[in-house]
Amino acid sequence: MSNSTARKRVLITGGAGFLGSHLCDRYLAEGYEVICMDNLSTGSADNIAHLIGNDDFEFIKHDVTNFIHVNGDLDLILHFASPASPIDYLEMPIQTLKVGSLGTHKALGLAKSKEARFLLASTSEVYGDPLTHPQNENYWGNVNPIGDRGVYDEAKRFAEAMTMAYHRYHNIETRIVRIFNTYGSRMRIYDGRALPTFMRQALNGNPLTVYGDGTQTRSFMYVDDLVEGVWRLSQGNYSDPVNIGNPQEITILEFAKEIINLTDSDSEITFEELPKDDPQVRQPDISRARKVLNWEPAFDREEGLMKTLDYFKQKVLRET
């Protein structure tokens, strides 16, 4: 690790993605030199365009499933590279598995060689279609390993196992964040997740597509809350997984109605068949985050959605 008088340096894999780009902003604001690494398969150069020319920011286009080389010292690696929406990992199943396995292995190897702390972006998807509710970190999950969603779920479960193996065997300082549904600016409007899909449909006056009967639940967190949780976890001393999410649970049907009201849309709601292995409930137990990070969401859903609406209006406007 670099000496205490030097500027701290962080590598953020997947740094041009939705979450990664917000993390680039935060760590720059905290005084870090930031190296953003992304192959732009699901990330976008637009998300980091405002950082180009910043002397403390560097972008490297690279696929992390290949050997990772970074010049100089590193204090911290945030491993956020991965397709993260159903439409992505269903279109790129093998790449999703590779970035969770090979990519995590390469990033951990770099952490070992640089004596850097390593933080893995895991997911609430490791709980699968949960049989306990809400979900805490001691729950082992209910995942179909050979289902369509299994390529993402098992990639992240393997990544957690690999991270803990490096922690135990190589004494690497590791952190694991299990991220629940997150939304905010820089999401792709066609990424297949509920919020961008509903926003796009409502703003265009199209019917909102609800799968199943809409009684399945999700818990939506504003991106600034996620960034704060990751920051605290990366600076702390806790190595077991930590849920970061907003416990404010809502059914998908009610959420669709909420988006229609928010956008003042005349859109109706249509129903389609529920995808296989789609979780029926999803709500984080954040007792651990409250205890070890002194963290809980600062934004309720209404406030977060209002802050996000202008971004989606601009994205939809550019399409027309």
**Full residue range of the structural domain in which residue 167 is found:** 9-183+223-245+285-299
Rounded to whole angstroms, how far apart are CA atoms 199 and 196?
5
What amino acid occupies position 204? N
Q: Sign of the C-alpha dihedral, residues 82, 88, 89, 91? A: negative
- Mark whether 95 and 121 lie in a shared domain: yes
Q: What is the domain-level CATH number for residue 309?
A: 3.90.25.10
Q: Determine which one of 152, 166, 183, 222 is catalytic.
A: 152
Each residue's pLDDT tens digit, 146-201: 999 999 999 999 999 999 999 999 999 999 999 999 999 999 999 999 999 999 99
The DSSP-derived string for 48-104 is GGGGTT-TTEEEEE--TTS-----S--SEEEE--S--SHHHHHHSHHHHHHIIIIIH
Residues 88 and 143 in one domain: yes
Instruction: Tell me if 189 is assigned to some domain.
Output: no
Q: Is 3 a member of any domain? A: no
For residues 142 and 206, membership in a common domain is answered with no
How far is Cα 260 from Cα 208, in angstroms, rounded to an integer? 9
- CB proximity list for 124: less than 8 A, separation 6 or greater: 135, 178, 179, 180, 181, 243, 245, 282, 284
Question: Quick check: is 152 catalytic?
Answer: yes
Mean pLDDT across the chain: 96
Q: Do both 44 and 173 map to the same domain?
A: yes
Residues 105 and 206 in one domain: no
- Given pLDDT bands bounded at 50, 70 and 90, which one contains residue 2? very low
One domain, residues 66 and 199: no
Do residue 290 and residue 274 come from a single domain? no
In a domain, 188, yes or no: no
- Same domain (yes/no): 279, 291: no
What percentage of residues in the chain have a pLDDT greater than 90? 92
Amino acid at 224: D
Residue 239 in domain: yes
Two structure tokens written together for 145: 């390993």
Query: Other C-beta atoms within 10 Å of 144: how many?
Result: 14
In a domain, 206, yes or no: yes
Residues 24 and 65 in one domain: yes
* Residue 4 belongs to a domain: no
The total domain count for the chain is: 2
Same domain for 100 and 40: yes
pLDDT grade, residue 317 (50/70/90)? confident
pLDDT in tens, 201-254: 999 999 999 999 999 999 999 999 999 999 999 999 999 999 999 999 999 999
Q: What is the pLDDT of residue 99?
A: 98
Instruction: Choose between 260 and 278: higher pLDDT.
Output: 260
C-alpha span between 301 and 298 (Å, rounded): 10
89: domain CATH number?
3.40.50.720
pLDDT in tens, 40-57: 999 999 999 999 999 999
Tell whether 258 is covered by a domain: yes
Residue 175 sits in the same domain as residue 308? no
Token match 């990751």: residue? 230
Q: Are residues 19 and 154 in the same domain?
A: yes
State pLDDT tens for residues 222-236: 999 999 999 999 999
| Residue 119 forms part of a structural domain | yes
